[in-house]
Each structure stands twice: as structure tokens, then as C-alpha cells.
Amino acid sequence: MICTFVLLLLNLVGVFGDADAVESVLVMEGDSVTLNSGVTEVQRDDDIEWRFNSIRIAKANIPQYDRDERFRDRLKLDRTGSLTITNTRTTDSGLYKLTITVGDNEIINTFNVTVDAPLSIPVITSDISKCSSSPTCVLVCSVMDVIRVNLSWYKGISLLSRISVSDIRISLSLPLEVEYQDNNTYRCVVNSPLSNQTKHVCITDLCRLCSVLSSDEVHYFGGTEAVIRLVVTALVGVAAVAAFIVLVYDIRLRRAELERHQTHNDGSKILK
């Protein structure tokens, strides 16, 4: 099954002869996309040419792979000159320009195609640097390397907060402060115009560390200090033992050498 997603973000202002009209097309990686010529039928001798980022990829309804191998066996053209790209890859993103020459007229259609990789599920962590004595912890929802998405926190069905990124590819993080005992269901959602992914939160699990660290019995920084002290003591101990071993070894070595010298001088003990 091939599903075809064609999302027209801009409407064409007069298809014929308008060289400036650029149609934005968004497609999910792996899906097929059809770029419509905008004409109902082309005559046999009509001059049809498709270019991808200026490189010719089809001429007179015949795909040409020689200049750009990336499209091999993935282009289809129909009688109207429309171009279908199958099994799209993110590297298919770019400008596709169709030129149809009818007599003295030239019809030019330009498509700005963006192939988006599927979204990955957001990652939720607790920010332990924000642990405090109040019974709250801060959860951080993150997505890596995204473009044209919204990242949102929901409590039940209501939207709590949202950040958006448009045309640059970046990583996003959105914090949320919750109470340890909160029984509500929280989720973090990332969505693009083509897809979305949801991560549900288990507050008890995520906030456990924070609740332990900020409880009265254990002080986080005191804890680290104690650990550091322990490690330093252990290291000093190990170093002392190592120095002792080296010393003993050295003494033995010297003694052995001394003996060898002596036996050498005697001459009597060399061959046993």
C-alpha cells in the first residue's frame, strides 16, 4: 500500500505562466508524493521537462537518472506530465521545477518539497538540580533535531504549555513542575503537520529520586560530599598500599642484583 500525502500549504496564484508561484509540499519519509502538472493533458510533441535543484530528472515524460542517481527507479510520470516520487527520502527535499512548452508558451510550475523524517517519541526526565524541599519536582520533555513542530504538555485533555519551532532544525525542551502526589495524567506531545508522538508520564517513578534527595534525612550535597570523602580516603589507601608494594619489590630487586653480583665474583655458583 502506498499512501500519498500531499499537503498544499500555499495556494497557487494562477497556474499558467506564473514563474514565481512556488507550491510547498510536505511529505513523510517513505511515502510517495505526486507533483501535479496542473494541466489536463499534454500533446505528444509537448516539451516536458522536470528539474530537481536545476538538474534535469525527466524529459518528454521519460525519467532521466544519468545526472542524479538518487532517483533511480523511484520516478513515475503520467500523461498529464505529473511526477510521482516513490519511497521518498529526506534528501529528496528541494525545488522541483516543471516546464511545459506548448508552441510559444511556457508553463512553469515550481514545487518546494520537504521530506520529513518520522517524529521520535519525546523523552521525559526529571531535573534533579531543581529538587527542593517543597513536594514538587520538575519534569523536562525533550525532542531532538526537529523542524516545524509543536511540543506540548497536557494534563488530561487540557493544554498546559507549548513551544513551537518553525523553519530551523533544533532540539527542544519543555519543563513542567508537578507535585509528587499528583494523581492527574500528564503527557507530552510532539506534533508536526504530518504526525505526532505522545509520551505519558509516571510521576511516581520520575519524581522518586527527587523525593529521596530532598527528604529531610538525606541532604543531596552533604551526600555527595560524603561520597567524595569516601572515594578520596579509598584512593589514598590504595596509593599507600601501592607505594608499599613498590618499595618491597624494589628492595627485593636490589637484593637479588647484589647477590648476582656476588655470585658473579665468586664464579663458583654460576652453573648449578
Ligand X SMILES: *[C@@H]1O[C@H](CO)[C@@H](O)[C@H](O)[C@H]1NC(C)=O
Write out the residues near ligand X by the rule CB under 6 A: 22, 95, 112, 114, 148-150, 162, 164, 167, 181-183, 189, 191-193, 196
Phi first, then psi: give them for residue 134, nearest 5 degrees.
Answer: -70, 150
Minimum separation from the CB atom of position 83 to ligand X (A): 17
C-alpha pair distances (Å), 46 with each of 24, 40, 43, 152, 225? 26, 13, 5, 50, 80
DSSP 28: E
15/219 Cα distance (integer angstroms): 69
Compare residues 63 and 135 and give the one whose CB is closer to ligand X: 135
Compare residues 42 and 137 and give the one whose CB is closer to ligand X: 137
* Residue 87, CA atoms < 13 Å, CB-side half-sphere: 6
Minimum separation from the CB atom of position 243 to ligand X (A): 58
Grid cell for residue 135 = 513536594
Compare residues 20 and 217 and give the one whose CB is closer to ligand X: 20
Alpha-helical segments (H) within 111-219: 203-213
Minimum separation from the CB atom of position 237 to ligand X (A): 49
DSSP 59: E
Grid cell for residue 266 = 665468586
Minimum separation from the CB atom of position 31 to ligand X (A): 14
Grid cell for residue 9 = 500549504
Compare residues 164 and 262 and give the one whose CB is closer to ligand X: 164
Minimum separation from the CB atom of position 150 to ligand X (A): 4
Compare residues 98 and 149 and give the one whose CB is closer to ligand X: 149
